[in-house]
Amino acid sequence: MTDVRNDATTEPSTSAATARQIEATERFAAHNYHPLPVVIAEGHGAWVTDVEGRRYLDCLAGYSALNFGHGHPRLVARAAEQLQRLTLTSRAFYNDRLGGFAEALCRLTGKDMMLPMNSGAEAVETAIKVSRRWGYMVKGVPPERATIITMQGNFHGRTTTIIGFSDDDVARHGYAPFTPGFRSVPYGDVAAVADAIDDADDTVVAVLFEPAQGEAGVVVPPDGFLRDLRALCTERGVLMVADEIQSGLGRTGRTFACDHEDVVPDVYVLGKALGGGIYPVSAIAADRDVLGVITPGSHGSTFGGNPLAAAIGTEVVALLEEGTFQARAREIGDLLDAGLSALVGKGLVAVRIRGAWAGVDIDPALMTGRQACEELMERGVLAKDTHGSTVRFAPPLVADDEDVALLVDAVRDMLAGARPA
């Protein structure tokens, strides 16, 4: 790591270059985000540099899309090589990269088949369509009656169907009417899932859930929930569909968050880090008795499975098969636990950690989550708030011990300087 981190701890000021970029974005781009006032121009490893030359520790990592850090040399090399050869054919033809990617991802997940898409939301939509089709073709659910159980506090994407079963009013407002066929239960409550299955008159085809909820503030389910849910789904003939878009691919210290309880879902939903932070790549993976319901013309994507995406995805799988990133996530988690948990009662109300993923609840009498992220930015750390006074941390898995210490010190210093409102 280059020893220039102290440059990031000086208080930033908005210069003409920063203001110009922010003004253009605010004027010409729709206001669907509320970014911190920093304009990032370059990134290497766990660090980014803004247009003023200030460096920041990236503790969001593109919502875990950058698990391998900015510009990982193996991923960049693979992408650059493929860019010179072939980027897109559409699935109207075979290409010489998709087969290898499909085989590698099936090996990683232990599944028979995969179906490639682009964004995480597309992968979730694909899982919904596959679950419904499986319900009609295999389980025998009456036409147009399929029900999918979801969890309160979920975040699965931004399509109209997906936000329809969200309980986030900001995401939902102004977009109705929504797609029917979903039933929401409290997160982590297997008894509630069982009741919902019973009440749906055998029309439930799947339970869609996150093994750890990211947008909700890194909410980890109770011990045993994943095992109990697996047993329930098997018993009732319902697909267990795990959205591992944020929690998977090394983030929580295991290849998949479901691995923490040695559980294998019927369907893995993957994205974000599958593209290495370079290119949007997503997929679902399942056994043939599930994904076999997809037939030519029944689902597709112009860019899904393109050779550039497949080349990058294959290299991502190769990195994960080495196991070093999963091990590093566990080490980062131990450091975060030791540093952040000591601050509970000293400005933090609660800390939740799963591998290199942490959600901290700040005493709302001190500041909001947004204000905390602004304070952290001044100390050279970039993070993201959610739901009031909660802040999420997800540093790239290439962050070293000094990087993690800087993060903890920044939080400690921020809390020490805070005064009750």
Domain assignment of residue 163, yes or no: yes
**Among candidate residues 321, 338, 369, the one where a domain is terminated:** 321
- Asked whether residue 146 falls in the same domain as residue 121, the answer is yes
Domain housing 350: 35-65+326-417
pLDDT, tens only, 310-357: 999 999 999 999 999 999 999 999 999 999 999 999 999 999 999 999
Number of compact structural domains in the chain: 2
- Asked whether residue 89 falls in the same domain as residue 232, the answer is yes
Going by pLDDT thresholds of 50, 70 and 90, the confidence category of residue 10 is very low
Task: Confirm if 57 and 46 have CB atoms less than 8 A apart.
Answer: yes
pLDDT, tens only, 58-106: 999 999 999 999 999 999 999 999 999 999 999 999 999 999 999 999 9
- Asked whether residue 105 falls in the same domain as residue 163, the answer is yes
- Asked whether residue 278 falls in the same domain as residue 141, the answer is yes
pLDDT, tens only, 184-196: 999 999 999 999 9
- Asked whether residue 93 falls in the same domain as residue 159, the answer is yes
Could you give the angle at which helices 307-321 and 324-341 cross, rounded to 10 degrees?
70
Question: For residue 118, what pLDDT is reported?
Answer: 98
pLDDT, tens only, 204-248: 999 999 999 999 999 999 999 999 999 999 999 999 999 999 999
**350: Cα separation from own chain's centroid:** 22
Please provide the DSSP assignment of 31-70 as one string: ------S--EEEEEBTEEEETTS-EEEESSHHHHTTTT-B
Tokens 């043939």 belong to residue: 288
Query: What residues contact residue 3 under an 8 Å CB cut-off, 6+ apart?
Result: none
Task: Confirm if 284 and 114 have CB atoms less than 8 A apart.
Answer: yes
CATH code where residue 58 lies: 3.90.1150.10
Domain assignment of residue 129, yes or no: yes
Domain assignment of residue 176, yes or no: yes
CATH code where residue 101 lies: 3.40.640.10
Please provide the DSSP assignment of 371-405 as one string: HHHHHHHHTTEE-EEETTTEEEE---TT--HHHHH
Task: Confirm if 146 and 179 have CB atoms less than 8 A apart.
Answer: no
Domain assignment of residue 179, yes or no: yes
Question: For residue 15, what pLDDT is reported?
Answer: 87
Domain assignment of residue 278, yes or no: yes
Query: What residues contact residue 214 under an 8 Å CB cut-off, 6+ apart?
Result: 63, 64, 155, 246, 247, 357, 392, 394
Contacts 24+ apart (CB under 8 A), 137-142: 137/293, 138/289, 138/290, 138/293, 139/205, 139/237, 141/202, 141/203, 141/205, 142/203
The percent of residues above 90 in pLDDT, for the chain, comes to: 94
Domain assignment of residue 293, yes or no: yes
Other C-beta atoms closer than 10 Å to the C-beta of 337 total 13
- Asked whether residue 307 falls in the same domain as residue 338, the answer is no
The pTM (predicted TM-score) of the whole model is: 0.95
- In single-letter form, the type of residue at position 296 comes to P
Task: Confirm if 381 and 56 have CB atoms less than 8 A apart.
Answer: yes
Active site residues: 155, 243, 272
Residue 277 to residue 120: CA distance in whole angstroms:
13
Domain assignment of residue 1, yes or no: no
